A and B are shown apart, each in its own frame.
Chain A
Amino acid sequence: MDFRGRDVVSINDFTLEEINYILDVAEGMVPAAKGEEVLDLIPGKILAMMFYEPSTRTMLSFETAMKRIGGKVIGFSDVRATSTAKGETLADTIKMVEAYADVIVLRHDREGAARMAAEFSDIPVLNAGDGAGQHPTQTLLDLYTMRSELGYLRKKSIALVGDLKYGRTVHSLTYALAKFGANLHFIAPEALQLPPEVVSHLEKRNTNFEVHEDLSDVMGEVDVLYVTRIQKERFPDIEEYNKVAGAFRIDTDSLAGAKKSMIIMHPLPRVDEIATDVDGTQHARYFQQAFNGVPVRMALLSLVLGADLGVLK
Chain B
Amino acid sequence: MRKELKISAIRNGTVIDHITSGMALKVLHILGLDEDPPTSTVSVIMHVPSRVHSFKDIVKIEDRELKKQELNRIALLSPHATINIIRDGEVAEKHHVRPPREVVDLASCENPNCITNSREPVSTRFKVIRKEPMVLKCVYCGREQDVCVERL
Min CB distance, B75 to chain A, in Å? 23
Query: Mostly helix, strand, loop or mixed at chain B's interface?
Result: loop
| A90 within 8 Å of B (CB atoms) | yes
Stretch in contact with the other chain, from A126-134, A241-249, A289-297: A126-134
Which of A90, A111, A115, A196 is close to B113, meaning CB atoms less than 8 Å apart?
A111
How distant is the Cα of A119 from the Cα of B125 in the complex, in angstroms?
A: 13
How distant is the Cα of A55 from the Cα of B118 in the complex, in angstroms?
A: 22
Min CB distance, A219 to chain B, in Å? 32
On chain B, the number of residues with a Cβ less than 8 Å from chain A's Cβ atoms is 18
Q: Return the chain B residue nearest A109 by Cβ.
A: B113
| B65 within 8 Å of A (CB atoms) | no
Q: Return the chain A residue nearest B140 by Cβ.
A: A112
Min CB distance, A294 to chain B, in Å? 28
B138 near A112: Cβ-Cβ < 8 Å = yes
A89 near B114: Cβ-Cβ < 8 Å = no
Q: Return the chain B residue nearest A132 by Cβ.
A: B113
Instruction: Tell me the chain B residues, 93-125 only, with Cβ under 8 Å from chain A.
Output: 111, 113-116, 118-122
A134 near B144: Cβ-Cβ < 8 Å = no
Q: Return the chain A residue nearest B122 by Cβ.
A: A116
| A200 within 8 Å of B (CB atoms) | yes
A133 near B142: Cβ-Cβ < 8 Å = yes
Contact A116:B120 (CB < 8 A) given known A111-B113, A111-B114, A132-B113: yes
Seen from chain B, the residues whose Cβ lies within 8 Å of a Cβ on chain A are 111, 113-116, 118-122, 137-144
> Which 4 pairs, one residue from A and one from B, show the smallest C-beta to C-beta distance?
A112-B140, A111-B141, A112-B115, A112-B141
